[in-house]
Amino acid sequence: MGMTMVEKILARAGKLACVSPGDVVTVEVETAIVIDNNFMHNRMREPKKVWDADKVAIMLDHIAPADSVMRASMHKSARRFAQRQGITRFHDVGSSQGIAHQLVADDGLALPGTVLACVDSHTCSAGAFNCAARGVGHPEMAWILATGQTWFPVVETVRYELTSSLAPVLNAKDIILHIANTWGDHAMHNVEFVGSGVRGMTMNARRTLATMCAEISAEFAVFEADDLCVAHIRERNPGAQFEPQFADADARYAATRTVDLGAIEPLVAYPDTIVRNSRPVREAQGVKVDQAFIGSCANGTLDDLEIAARIVKGRKLAPGTRLIVTPGSQAVFLEGVRLGYVETLMTAGAVVTASSCGACWGGSNGVLAPGEVCITASTRNYKGRMGSSEAQIYLASPATVAATALRGTITDPREFL
């Protein structure tokens, strides 16, 4: 029996001829990503020596720069950890900072056909690079750092064949909202994306889709490593050695589904969940918002800054509506400055912040007050995610968020493009 992409990656990392659903596999980890939250309240015990300092990267991302003594102490602990362990891939506060999953893409650290681990639940973002990437617990990360190994159950896979292409105003966020609304959660299943529709997607778009698979409870989410993917890695990590994995022709799937990208329209997830909770944006038009946010590991890419800037160019935000934009990394921020996107957004009235996870999880740079309404191009919209549990959070694409910020009410972006 043939294997799916995830099964082949796990088999290779486990030095096994084959694996199948129901197996539990011990695998070699190619890349371990440590973030600032690893150093909170001694969540993770430090090994005497990490198994391979060259395969570990440390990224200060959830709140950077520090906003409290506690957070500053965590950052200090991370710096000392890096020094003691000889870890040179260290993204400190400054020009190299950013959200971990964006930095993984910036530096080409997610290698096709390998396993990547991090404690953050959106680690599946790296699946865009044909990498079996997943969040793990803090104790498990300590074990990985000591041994270079971890374990995963092998589960069934759902295969999505994407056809045609999205309209220019749409985003991969609209794809995942369509999938979540149509088929619900994917708990205890992997997801793989193939088809002509994938070939027309940028790596940023693929990462958005892979990242958001955490919101449908997928175990792993992977794409094929096509020429675009391989070129991305080679440009940023030229010495890396890897072997992409492709599904066998006779691989078995829990389901195979086709998504016609050309038939998708702008969607918005209503407050509290994205699972079976989205509607066409035209049905939500008129809902008044206090805050609009573009950023996070899902939608803080250069593509997202560009579409937002195109929509607001020459216009001003609606009175009483604030637009907060957080680039995924300082490198994305700098490129957005060079290309004029940041100036356009700020001229329209937006606040552009340093790169961090802050507003997405209600940590900083955009916390919501009781009774406020926010539309966000981030990852999650459950109660209390961005601040008060009495706030309401709608989730949509960057284009929809930007258009809404101009009107002050949820707005179809096609009105501006």
Q: What is the DSSP string of 121-137?
A: GGGGGGGGGT-EEEE--
State the pLDDT at residue 18. Answer: 97
Query: What is the C-alpha to C-alpha distance for residues 315 and 152, in angstroms, rounded to an integer?
Result: 50
Q: Which residues contact 212 (CB under 8 A, 6 or more apart)?
A: 172, 173, 176, 274, 298, 379
Picking from 134, 132, 140, the residue whose alpha carbon sits closest to that of residue 115 is: 132
pTM, two decimal places: 0.97
Picking from 387, 382, 415, the residue whose alpha carbon sits closest to that of residue 310 is: 415
* Rg (the chain; Cα; Å): 20
Q: What one-character DSSP code corresponds to residue 2?
A: B
Instruction: Write down all domains in the chain, each with its CATH number in brackets.
Output: 5-240+252-260 (3.30.499.10), 267-415 (3.30.499.10)
Phi and psi, residue 79, nearest 5° = -65, -40
Residue with tokens 């969940």: 273
Q: Which residues of 112-143 are buried (b: 16+ CB within 10 A; e: fewer)?
A: bbbbbbbbbebbbbbbbbbbbbbbbebeebbb
State the pLDDT at residue 48. Answer: 93
State the pLDDT at residue 7. Answer: 98
State the pLDDT at residue 44. Answer: 80
Query: What is the C-alpha to C-alpha distance for residues 5 and 374, in angstroms, rounded to an integer?
Result: 37
Q: What one-character DSSP code corresponds to residue 24?
A: E
H or E element in which residue 115 lies: strand 115-118
143: amino acid identity, one letter: W
Strand order in the sheet with 221-223: 221-223, 189-194, 156-163, 255-260
In 166-268, alpha helices (H): 172-183, 196-199, 203-212, 227-236
State the pLDDT at residue 237. Answer: 97
Ranges of the chain whose pLDDT falls below 50: none
Give me 311's structure tokens. 């929509």
Query: What is the C-alpha to C-alpha distance for residues 113 and 222, in angstroms, rounded to an integer?
Result: 10
Q: Give per-residue pLDDT as tens, 112-167.
A: 999 999 999 999 999 999 999 999 999 999 999 999 999 999 999 999 999 999 99
1 C-beta neighbours (distance < 10 Å), count: 9
Q: Give per-residue pLDDT as tens, 309-351.
A: 999 999 999 999 999 999 999 999 999 999 999 999 999 999 9
State the pLDDT at residue 105. Answer: 98
Q: What one-character DSSP code corresponds to residue 72?
A: H
